[in-house]
Amino acid sequence: MALTFSKIPGELLEKFNALEEKGKYPKRKSMLVPALHIAQEHFGWISDEAVAAVAEFLELSPNYVKGDASFYTMFFMDKPGKHVIQVCHNVSCYLEGAEDIVAHLERKLGIKCGGTTPDGKFSLVTVECLGACGRGPVVQINNREYHEYMTIEKIDSLLESLE
Ligand code: FES
């Protein structure tokens, strides 16, 4: 049943309720991953507020929500930079040189994988298969923009365009 009174921000609550109204989920708990996506879009990352909102809506403990979210690489457990560079390091992309792309980005940005530049512009992470295995190495920006057949030259001009 949809929540009508809550500490969850109104716009977010509407989206949570809309998720439930779709009727696709047999149990409330099975909405956890989609609810986390909605919360991340709202807050920008899985902050304590995001965890609290999802936990309240699904009637789960915050620790359960946080533990589940931390399992998936698509959820940011720390506040990310403005641009999140995700490099697929799964088998096909690895064989096509993903590790060279990661090493180049680490050098160029001056951070280690999993880190964020001090100016907050870029975060760098490796992720599991992005579903474009025949066109690797694949890089994704901010969870939505795909760049295939990545090379050092292409990643350099991509970084410039994001600056
Ligand atoms: S292995 Fe990189 S997209 Fe599948």
Q: Rounded to the nearest whole angstrom, what is the distance from the C-alpha of residue 133 to the centroid of ligand 1?
A: 4
Between 44 and 73, residue with greater pLDDT: 44
Indicate the top mutation candidate among 88, 101, 146, 148 to test ligand 1's pocket, ranked by most ligand atoms within 8 A of CB.
Answer: 88
pLDDT at 4: 55
Confidence at 1, pLDDT banded by 50, 70, 90: low
pLDDT at 21: 86
pLDDT at 102: 97
87-102 pLDDT, tens digit per residue, is 999 999 999 999 999 9
Q: pTM for the full model? A: 0.77
Characterize 11-26 residue by residue with b for buried, 16 or more Cβ atoms within 10 angstroms of its Cβ, and e for exposed. ebbebbbebbeeeeee
Strand ranges (DSSP E) for the chain? 83-88, 122-127, 139-141, 145-147
Q: Which domains does the chain have, with CATH numbers?
A: 10-69 (1.10.10), 83-162 (3.40.30.10)
Confidence at 143, pLDDT banded by 50, 70, 90: confident
pLDDT at 3: 57
Q: Rounded to the nearest whole angstrom, what is the distance from the C-alpha of residue 149 to the centroid of ligand 1?
A: 11
